Homo-oligomer: A and B are copies of this chain.
Amino acid sequence: MAATDPSKQRWIPWMQRALQLAGLAAGRTSPNPLVGAVVLAADGQLVGEGFHARAGEPHAEVGALAQAGDAARGGTIVVTLEPCCHHGRTPPCAEAVIAAGITRVVVALSDPDPRVAGGGLQRLRDAGLEVITGVLEEEAAHQNRAFVHRVQTGRPWGVLKWAMSLDGRTALPNGASQWISGSAARSWVHRLRAGCDAVIVGGGTLRADNPLLTSRGQRQPEPLRVVLSRSLDLPEQAQLWDQSEASTLVAHQASSDWAGRERLRAAWAQAGVAVQSFERCDPLALLPLLAARGCNRVLWECGPSLAAAALQQGCVQELAVVIAPKLMGGELARTPLGDLGLTAMDQVVPLALDSAQSLGDDLLLQARLRCDSID
Contact = CB atoms under 8 A, between A and B. Distances in A.
Interface of A: 164-169, 172-174, 176-180, 304, 308, 311, 319, 321, 323, 325-333, 335-345, 348-353, 356, 361, 363, 365, 367, 374
Contacts of A166: 319, 321, 351, 365, 367
Given A353-B363, A367-B166, A327 B345 contact: no
B338 A330 contact: yes
Nearest to A354: B325
Given A168-B168, A345-B179, A330 B336 contact: no
Contacts of A328: 337, 340, 342, 348-349
A338 B345 contact: no
12 contacts: A166-B365, A173-B343, A325-B352, A326-B350, A327-B374, A329-B337, A329-B349, A330-B340, A331-B339, A333-B335, A356-B356, A356-B363
B350 A325 contact: yes
A174 B172 CA distance: 23
A208 to B, nearest CB: 13
B167 A345 contact: no
A353 B168 CA distance: 15
Nearest to A350: B326
Contact of A329 (B169, B177, B342): B342
Contacts of A331: 304, 338-339
Contacts of A339: 173, 329-333
Contacts of A326: 348-351
Contacts of A374: 327
A176 B347 CA distance: 11
Contact of A168 (B167, B174, B341): B167
A176 B323 contact: no
Nearest to A329: B340
A365 B323 contact: yes
Contacts of A340: 327-330
Nearest to A361: B353
A327 B348 contact: yes
Contact of A365 (B179, B344, B363): B363
Given A167-B335, A173-B343, A356-B356, 4 more contacts: A325-B350, A328-B342, A329-B337, A329-B340
